[in-house]
């Protein structure tokens, strides 16, 4: 029987990871599940997966590794089903921008002998450049040159950590460890909050009395400023915003204060003060963009994970011509 990895949630990022798992060093089949059956069928037709599951309960009894990428509110229900269906020794890698409630649930409810590690791969420098149409397509090298955050429940066995580290190596991403609360705060700030601002801009614009005429004048600037609405739509919901409220509310308050300062400057009509504020904004953006392109944040800013040397845990689990052993639970 061919060894198999289960991919749950077949978005662009997961499909890219699936393509990376087609490494010639591995002999592994890819099963796939997505709540949207159309997405799953398209993945099967494009040969991004080898077989499609109609339900998570159909997971193979031989599946020792499962990657889950679903909206925050859908993660725990999926883990409940997988925890009961996966075999002893199985590992779940959860790709979620909200890890704290998952880690808390795992500590209390994941069946003994099943393990969980939270991961979040981030694209390299190319990920901040203006996207081209083909960038929407899954790519095996999507995360090459980027980083991968790892957040772990207490007592996670070393074998599970090694699997996560070897996946990072396969993706070409630099792994680092982070506390789940810190990860949640960071992703709320740089992913959810910008999408929320884009939605607010669109909503405010559409409600203005002059929108009927102004919409005819919209161009690239407005399109780029509101593009996150469509991109984030599959992951953004009332439930996900509510789950992230403890991190979003302080950001909203800070943005209200920032807008109030801009309001005061514009109302005062002092050209020099406005120029100074604009200059500070442009410099901050340039500094961030330059650092993001280099990808050199300084060793003191990360808790780096050790490099993988020799055959990785993934290669030992799914090596050519060899039947794998299950990861040990210690």
What are 261-285's pLDDT values in tens digits? Answer: 999 999 999 899 999 999 999 999 9
The residues, ordered by sequence, that sit 6+ positions from 145 with a Cβ below 8 Å of its Cβ are 124, 125, 126, 172, 173, 295
- How far is it, in rounded angstroms, from Cα 173 to Cα 170? 8
Name the token pair of 104: 């808390």
DSSP class of 1: -
Compute how many other C-beta atoms are within 10 angstroms of the C-beta atom of residue 328: 10
The closest of 57, 46, 47, 45 to 8, measured between CA atoms, is 57
pLDDT on residue 297: 57
Q: Report the predicted TM-score, pTM, of the whole model to 2 decimal places.
A: 0.85
For residue range 93-104, list pLDDT tens digits in order: 999 989 999 999
- How far is it, in rounded angstroms, from Cα 145 to Cα 22? 19
For residue range 287-319, list pLDDT tens digits in order: 988 888 887 655 445 566 666 555 566 777 665
CATH of region 4-178+303-317, choose from 1.10.1040.10, 1.10.10.60, 3.40.50.720, 3.40.1190.20: 3.40.50.720
For residue range 100-136, list pLDDT tens digits in order: 999 999 999 999 999 999 999 999 877 766 555 446 7
The closest of 102, 54, 108, 51 to 79, measured between CA atoms, is 102
For residue range 191-239, list pLDDT tens digits in order: 999 999 999 999 999 999 999 999 999 999 999 999 888 877 767 788 9
The closest of 292, 308, 272, 265 to 146, measured between CA atoms, is 292
CATH topology of domain 183-268: 6-phosphogluconate dehydrogenase C-terminal fold (1.10.3660)
Domain boundaries, the chain: 4-178+303-317, 183-268
Q: For the chain, what is the mean pLDDT?
A: 87
Same fold, 4-178+303-317 and 183-268: no
Backbone angles phi, psi at 122, to 5 degrees: -125, 135
Place of tokens 């798992």: 21
């Amino acid at each position: 029987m061919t060894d198999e990895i289960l991919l749950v949630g077949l978005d662009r990022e997961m499909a890219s990871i699936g393509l990376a798992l087609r490494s010639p060093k591995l002999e592994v089949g890819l099963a796939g599940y997505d709540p949207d059956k159309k997405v799953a069928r398209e993945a099967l037709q494009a040969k991004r997966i080898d077989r499609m599951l109609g339900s998570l309960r159909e997971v193979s009894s031989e599946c020792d590794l499962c990657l889950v990428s679903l909206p925050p509110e859908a993660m725990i229900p999926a883990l409940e089903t997988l925890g009961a269906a996966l075999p002893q020794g199985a590992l779940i890698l959860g790709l979620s921008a909200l890890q704290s409630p998952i880690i808390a649930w795992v500590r209390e409810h994941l069946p003994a002998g099943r393990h969980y590690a939270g991961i979040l791969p981030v694209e390299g420098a190319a990920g901040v450049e203006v996207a081209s149409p083909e960038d929407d397509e899954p790519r095996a090298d999507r995360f090459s040159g980027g980083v991968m955050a790892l957040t772990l429940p207490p007592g996670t066995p070393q074998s599970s950590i090694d699997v996560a580290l070897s996946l990072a190596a396969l993706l070409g991403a630099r792994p680092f460890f982070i506390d789940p609360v810190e990860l949640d705060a960071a992703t709320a700030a740089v992913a959810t909050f910008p999408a929320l601002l884009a939605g607010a801009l669109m909503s405010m614009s559409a409600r203005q009395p002059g929108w009927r005429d102004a919409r005819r004048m919209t161009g690239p600037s407005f399109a780029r400023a509101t593009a996150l609405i469509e991109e984030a739509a599959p992951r953004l919901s009332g439930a996900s915003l509510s789950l992230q409220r403890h991190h979003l509310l302080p950001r909203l308050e800070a943005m209200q204060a920032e807008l109030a300062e801009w309001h005061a400057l514009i109302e005062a009509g002092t050209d020099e003060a406005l120029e100074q504020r604009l200059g500070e904004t442009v410099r901050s953006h340039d500094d961030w963009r330059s650092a993001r392109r280099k990808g050199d944040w300084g060793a003191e800013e990360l808790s780096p994970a050790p490099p993988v040397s020799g055959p990785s845990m993934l290669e030992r689990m799914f090596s050519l011509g060899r039947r794998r052993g299950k990861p040990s639970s210690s």
